[in-house]
Every structure is written in structure tokens, then in C-alpha cells.
Amino acid sequence: MGLFSKLFGGKTKKETVKVKQVREREDQPAVHDVSSQDDRMNWAIEKAQLTLHYFEDSLKNPQANQQYFSIKVKIVDGDAAEHIWLTSPSFDEE
């Protein structure tokens, strides 16, 4: 069982987030569209926000086996929003 499964609980096939559409893009990763009303996805976002301090602690004081960190963030542009992975995250006073 992986770390995330231990922290957040495993998921069954029935609980898997339903991707509405996958948009392929040339020379870029595919975009997986998920409804903002998806209960499983909203639960995962809430859980991540509640445990963000653990991630920040690990980022500031990584253990020997922690060498790579990434975090998914929501970018909003008007009425559109997209979640993207940041591969060199950092925290500041804000």
C-alpha cells in the first residue's frame, strides 16, 4: 500500500474519479477534464489542503529519501480554471 493510500485511504473502482474527456496536445501532456462537481475529486482537494502543512514541513526539511517534490495548483483565468503540476515548489510568506 502506498503512502497516499495510507494517508487518504484506498479507493475502489467504484470510487475512481470519472474523467469526462482527455484532450491530447502535441508535444505536451494530455489534459484530463474532470467536472468541478466530482465528489471524489473535491474530497481529494479538500484533504490535500488540510494536510498541506505536512508537505511544507517535508519541503523545508527533506529526509534523505525525499529528493523530488511536486504539487498540483489551481490556476484561474476569468471563468476558466486548470490544475497544473509545479515541479519546483517553494513556500513564501504569502
Share the mean pLDDT of the chain.
82
Kindly report, residue by residue over 20-36, the tens digit of the pLDDT: 788 898 998 888 888 88
Strands (E), 1-94: 21-25, 28-33, 71-77, 80-86
Name residues whose C-beta falls within 8 Å of residue 85's C-beta, 6 or more positions apart in sequence. 70, 71, 72
**What's this model's pTM, rounded to 2 decimal places?**
0.60
Q: Could you give the maximum distance between any two Cα atoms of the chain, in Å?
A: 42
Using pLDDT thresholds of 50, 70 and 90, give the confidence band for residue 10.
low
**How far, in Å, CA of 29 to CA of 7, rounded?**
27
- Mean pLDDT of the region 58-82: 91
